[in-house]
Structure 1
Amino acid sequence: MTAPAPHPAAAGRRTGAAPTVDVHAHVLLPEIDALVAGLPGHAEARELDARRNGPAALAVNGPMVRERVPRMTDPAVRLAAMDAQGVDVQLVSPSPSHYHYWADEDTAGKVCRLANEATAAHCASAPGRLRGLGLVPLQHPQHMVSALDHALEQGLAGVEISSHAPGRELSDPAYEPFWARAAQTGAVVFLHPFGCTLDERLDRWYLSNTVGQPTENAVALSHLIFSGVLDRHPLKLIAAHGGGYLPTHIGRSDHAWSARSDAGAGCAQLPSSYLKRLYFDSLVHDPHVLRELVRVAGADRVLLGSDYPFDMGADDPVAALRAARLSEDDLDAVRGRNASALLDLTHA
């Protein structure tokens, strides 16, 4: 097979600059699908997902995912795609379809262990270019610390979570031990929603994704901010999809915090100040929004993200970043310098 032509952005590594790092890329783990198939609760979860997305979206999703399976399972295909994009390093996380927050304690434990081990094995095929994230059972807070520790033991950088679990928001006090352990260990926590609780209101025109994902990001981050979680725990938390609607509408949160005693009761500072304690990927699909994200969060808090290899991602994430017309220093920070420091790639 002919090697792909080098992408212009790949020059970063050759010139001694920080590598280009994509922090939002997924791996598909057929072992997990086989594990949960036919278990009580699985069919109901699939039915809920179908209602939330609607038949038209499902008709597109199926072929789209099947066509991309090699890109998510074969490391050689992944590395070739990275070369074509000019990406030196990917932070690989399980497809959010593997969360399975419906599962009982025993099944959830098996899912997380398998996800951690299989993701680590996938990344071990190219240890200088692939870093990985595992899973924790968000529906069983009492087991999240042990699942996080297991992920770190596999050599993973941290774990991926959704915006909520059934009946629990991320502000739930039951999650305090997990946040404390993540802060203590320096583990990366990648906040990537899967499913939106607006349910059938978003079941047409792929609103379940285009409106649902940024909504879930904004809700989840607001729970972390207003509850004081970020006051208590210095987390390495990356929000997918640029943090959704929150960064560009944070002024409304600041106003409520200042004007209302109920809004300001849980966190110590203006909500907008917490954006500088979080990390955000660059996947916002609009150069003007990306510039605003850099303005409100800081260029040191935005990381390159592609959502590889899904159709809602960026096929050329570096070109999407350049379209924002950032200063060269800010562009280099987002392109890879920030993620290199966050993931300690110099010692990987």
Structure 2
Amino acid sequence: MKYDVISADGHVDLIWLPPDLFTRNASAAFKDRMPYVVDGPKGPEWTSSKGAKFGLVNGMGSAGREYVPGVIHRSDRMASTGLYDDGKKGIRRLTEPDLRLKDQDRDGVQAEVLYGILGASGRLNDPEASTEVLRIYNDWLHEFCKAAPDRLIGLANIPNHDMDVAVTEMMRNARRGVRGFDVANKPDMTPLWDPFWEPLWQAAHETGIPIHFHTIGGRSPDTSKMPHHVVRRVQAAHITHFQMHMSYMLMALIYSGAPERYPNLKIVIGEAGLGWIPYVLQHMDLEWEDQFKDLDLKMKPSEYWHRQFYATYQTDPVGIRLLDLLGEDNVMWGSDYPHPDGIWPDSQEFLDRELDSIGAETRRKITRDNAMKLYRLAN
């Protein structure tokens, strides 16, 4: 495959999957605990027997919201391609390989790294059923990517409630050649400094397959009793802040000593943005030098970042100005297709504008070479 641009952050959302995928493929013990589709007041919607809500079939973003013209600019731009109209007709552009590839072509992209349905599986509030959901999804993803393995780079979805279960699912997917693990991330999960994670780090080290944590932000505040004008302020602060949640995860993981113990461990923080990372690395180095040299780190915290970590972004002109501190080998661009804060189908315009000041070799690393190396792609 001849690559010019690779998007290191694309999405497959549960609401765009075949409506009977989970009920059709679940084992007998779990069939009545799977997500399924019912008729709702605004059209078909995904739900579960325990009342979990996943959103409208083929709706907007990971939560399957209703698309309302004029509310979100980027969604309007995506809608102009017929994305949501097609969805209402049952045309699943995200999850039919030939249609997905056409949307890559529309954006000037030759391949995507595909994050999955971990947020939706968490809303089940049923860890055993969620494990079954992820198993079914990973099997579907494997077949989906086989249609174009050089262009559809699926990340196997890994639960985090039980490390034995997590490692079993990792190794099952590793044996069939998966190129990355997407690990469940939620606001109240076990902190990454906890020894709970040790089996996962070890498995990733031994397989050499990168682990991904996609940003989700912190817990959403309860706005049910707030007046509308206050709710909008809360929403603005929450949405603007959500990438900052990844800073604690980055610090906790490096301070855990896992990168020191497992030098073949590779970590990607997805859709994290870039601009905040140099400050966090500098401050970690400062605190380590000042008072935490008793930790089992043989290098500065920032040196583990440069050796083993990656961040993806879709638009971040401030971060691009800090590439000398970030490391041009540690950054990968992604369009975030088809989420409302993404830049599809205008990615090339954003890239030309934001990467105009850097050299051609550095641009190739960010938009192609780093992803090719990490995911073992051949040009």
User: Which TM-score applies when normalising by structure 2?
Assistant: 0.73
Q: 2: CA distance between counterparts of 1:75 and 1:21?
A: 17
Structure-1 separation of matches of 2:191 and 2:219: 12
User: Which of 13, 16, 24 does residue 28 from structure 1 map onto?
Assistant: 13
Question: 1:227: which partner in 2?
Answer: 256
Cα distance in 1, alignment partners of residues 336 and 194 from structure 2: 28
Query: Aligned-pair distance for 1:74?
Result: 2.5
Map 1:100-119; keep pairs closer than 5 Å.
100=122, 103-119=125-141
1:337 alignment partner AA: D
Which residue pairs with 2:246 in the alignment? Answer: 217
Is the 2:269–2:312 contact (alpha carbons within 8 Å) kept by the matching residues of 1? yes
> 188-197 or 173-182, which moves further after superposition?
188-197
Question: 2: distance between equivalents of 1:102 and 1:260?
Answer: 42
Tell me, in whole angstroms, the C-alpha distance in 1 between the residues paired with 2:296 and 2:130: 31
What is the Cα deviation at residue 39 of structure 1?
Answer: 4.4
Identity %: 23
Q: Give distance in 2, aligned partners of 1:188 and 1:99.
A: 21
Distance in 2 between the 1:210 and 1:96 partners? Answer: 22
Of residues 313, 325, 328 in structure 2, which corresponds to 1:282? 313
Distance 1:256 1:340 in 2: 35
- Structure with the higher helix share, 1 or 2: 1
State the alpha-carbon separation in 2 of the partners of residues 344 and 58 from structure 1. Answer: 28
Q: Structure 1, unaligned stretches of length 5 or more?
A: 1-11, 50-56
Residue ranges of structure 2 left out of the alignment (5+ in a row): 24-32, 36-46, 56-60, 68-74, 224-229
Deviation by residue 1:194-229 (Cα, 9 ceiling, x = unmatched): 3513644996334333212x1221111111011111
| 38 and 162 in structure 1: CA distance in 2 versus 1, 3 angstrom threshold | closer
Match of 2:331 in 1: 302
Alignment partner for residue 360 of structure 2, among 328, 342, 346?
328
Residue 75 of structure 1 pairs with residue 104 of structure 2: no
Distance change in 2, residues 1:96/1:246 (3 Å):
farther
Work out the CA distance in 1 between the residues paired with 2:64 and 2:236.
10
RMSD: 3.2
Which protein shows a greater Rg? Answer: 2
Secondary structure class of the residue paired with 1:303? strand
Q: CA deviation at 1:80?
A: 1.1
SS of equivalent residue, structure 1 residue 109: helix
Q: Which amino acid aligns with 2:363?
A: L
Question: Where does 1:194-209 land on structure 2 (aligned, <5 Å)?
Answer: 194-197=216-219, 199-200=221-222, 204-209=234-239
Distance 2:64 2:150 in 1: 35
**CA offset at residue 304 of structure 1?**
1.9
Q: CA 1:254–1:61 in 2, change beyond 3 Å: closer, same or farther? A: farther
Task: Tell me the CA shift for residue 182 of structure 1.
Answer: 0.9
Aligned partners of 2:119 and 2:184 also within 8 Å: no
Q: Which residue does 2:226 correspond to in 1?
A: none
CA distance in 1, matches of 2:149, 2:63: 36
Aligned mates of 1:252, 1:198 — CA distance in 2: 27
The residue identity in structure 2 corresponding to 1:258 is E
Distance 1:256 1:115 in 2: 42
Equivalent positions of 1:1-348 (< 5 A) are 13=2, 18-29=3-14, 30=17, 31=21, 35-36=34-35, 37-40=47-50, 43=52, 61-63=65-67, 67=84, 70-100=92-122, 103-164=125-186, 166-197=188-219, 199-200=221-222, 204-212=234-242, 214-233=243-262, 234-242=264-272, 246-250=276-280, 251-261=282-292, 265=295, 267-276=297-306, 277-283=308-314, 285-292=315-322, 294-315=323-344, 316-322=346-352, 323-324=354-355, 325-346=357-378
Give the 4+ runs in structure 1 shifted more than 6 A: 57-60
How far has the Cα of 1:307 moved from its partner? 0.8
Cα shift readout 1:94-129 (whole Å, capped 9, x = no counterpart): 144334276444313212211211111221222231
Q: What letter is aligned with 1:91? A: V
Q: Is the 8 A contact 1:101 1:138 kept in 2?
A: no
Tell me how many residue pairs correspond in the alignment.
Answer: 317
Match in the other structure for 1:3: none
Report the residue type matching 2:268 in the other structure.
I
Distance apart, 1:151 and its partner CA: 2.2
Query: Normalized against structure 1, the TM-score is what?
Result: 0.79
Distance in 2 between the 1:32 and 1:273 partners? 43
Structure 1 residues 165 and 149: alpha-carbon distance in aligned structure 2, compared to 1, 3 A threshold: farther
Q: Indicate conservation of the 8 Å contact 1:136/1:144, yes or no.
A: yes
| Contact 2:22–2:133, Cα closer than 8 Å, also in 1 | yes
What is the CA–CA distance in structure 2 between the aligned matches of 1:129 and 1:153, rounded to whole Å? 20
Determine if contact 2:108/2:347 at 8 Å carries over to the other structure: no
Secondary structure of 2:178's partner? Answer: coil
